[in-house]
Structure 1
Amino acid sequence: MLAAAFFKGMGLGGSLIVAIGSQNAYLLRQALKREFVLSCVAICVLCDVVLIGAGVAGMGALITEAPALLLLIKIAGAAFLGWYGWRAARSALQPGSMQAGAETGAADRRTVLAAMLAFSLLNPHVYLDTVVLLGSIGGQQTGMGRWYFAAGAMLASLLWFSSLGFGARYLTPVFARPRAWQVLDVVIALVMWSLAISLFL
């Protein structure tokens, strides 16, 4: 029974995390640039672990009862996603300015990690998926089952973000061409803007 809860959490958690989103898009971009990949992966996993644990512990029910808090998170998230989408669109107009593994023009650690934290915590979908959805389903498990469920979802997060962050280097030959970076930036811009709009639909 505990094993069933664990694999249920792993399956559901994995299906939610793998979906294309702002967090995944930014991590992929940093992984292709080979900038602070380990730190970015650690932030993604740690945020998920904390949010999943909080949701299973009961915070999911608390957030659903505080619509004003959720609205503030939506406004902040939409503003941030819109701004980063604009940055990606602007970068797409200068595809030759960035190359995979290039040392020149690299961002500083503080800027990259601050952005990774923002993508991990300022997107309301993160709370709806981890805290509310996983929290509510995990909370329905009996006894220690809820924590086995949470552990499965946390493992799915670790496996996915590690694979995305450290597996992206195999795409380096593709992104040796400026056109590939241009396409990636256009996709990222569209993802950011669509997510920002979807927050209020």
Structure 2
Amino acid sequence: MEALFHGIILAFGLILPLGVQNVFVFNQGATHKRFSGALPAIMTAGVCDTLLIYLAVAGVSILVFSFEWIKMILFMVGFLFLTYMGWVMWKNSNDVGNQERGTSMSAKRQVMFAASVSLLNPHAIMDTIGVIGTSSLVYEGYEKWVFTISCICVSWVWFFTLAMIGRRIGKLDSQGSFLKRLNQVSAIIVWAMAFYMGYQIFSLI
């Protein structure tokens, strides 16, 4: 039971703060006519978190950050992709107010963006390694599996909940004014993350 509650509390504490991943999943729930339209974002975010948590507990992901050139490539790809996606989200905010929501992000773009903010965020990866990976060291065998699965389950439940809340708010926002502002805020957060990645690139040179 200790491993179960430890995993739940720890994972919830890590995933709760506002971040690009959370804002994006919420945004997709709000901008699609049907909840199923946001499933690509939810599923991708869940799968990516599952992978990162497993690698952190297994200790494999620590090897990635043992090489400076891997970190450099990760930061560069993340900077370029997030800069582009921030522009896409800002551009879509100009049309999000129409009733048909014709500018909802396609499934392919949802998958690409959700994967990028999950896997191309070195600091999120380091948090996973430093907190979840380190915390898992106190457990062995069955208890380690319970700890790992509880962390993973929290991520999945959280992403589905975020999208459902977003859908509810999207229904109430008939004029689309809130969704427009949300898209703009999302774009700014994404650009801020890209800018910080750019700063990290220069610090590594």
TM > 0.5 fold call:
yes
1:177 alignment partner, SS class: coil
Unaligned runs of 5+ in 2: 201-205
Offset at residue 161 of structure 1 (A): 0.4
Distance in 2 between residues matched to 1:194 and 1:185, nearest whole Å? 14
Shift of 1:130: 2.6
User: In structure 1, what is the equivalent of residue 178 of structure 2?
Assistant: 180
Match of 1:189 in 2: 187
> 2:44 aligns to what SS in structure 1?
helix
1:155 pairs with 2:153: yes
Match of residue 42 from structure 1: 43
Aligned residues: 196
CA contact (8 A) 2:20 2:190 kept: yes
Pair 1:76–1:122, CA change in 2 (3 A): same
Q: Structure 2 CA distance, aligned partners of 1:165 and 1:106? A: 14
RMSD of aligned Cα (Å): 2.4
1:10: how far off?
1.4
- The residue that corresponds to 1:167 in the other structure is 165
What's 1:53 paired with?
54
Q: 1:9 maps to what in 2?
A: 7
Tell me the equivalent position of 1:74.
75
The answer to whether the Cα contact below 8 Å between 1:58 and 1:135 also exists between their aligned partners in 2 is yes
Q: Which residue of 2 aligns with 1:26?
A: 24
- Which one-letter code corresponds to 2:83 in the other structure? G
List runs of 5+ in structure 1 lacking aligned partners.
none
1:170 deviation in Å? 1.4
Distance 1:101 1:55 in 2: 43
Assess if the C-alpha contact under 8 Å between 2:97 and 2:180 holds in 1. no
Kindly state the Cα deviation for residue 105 of structure 1 after the two structures are TM-superposed: 4.2
Matched residue of 2:18: which SS?
A: coil
State the TM-score, normalizing by the size of structure 1.
0.84
Flag the 1:36–1:117 CA change in 2: closer, same or farther, 3 A.
farther
Quickly say closer, same or farther: Cα 1:68–1:6, change in 2 above 3 A.
farther
Q: Which residue of 2 aligns with 1:142?
A: 140
- Using the TM superposition, give the Cα deviation of residue 99 of structure 1 relative to its aligned residue in structure 2, in angstroms: 4.0
Give 2:165's aligned amino acid: G
Instruction: Determine the C-alpha separation between the residues in 2 that align with 1:100 and 1:115.
Output: 23
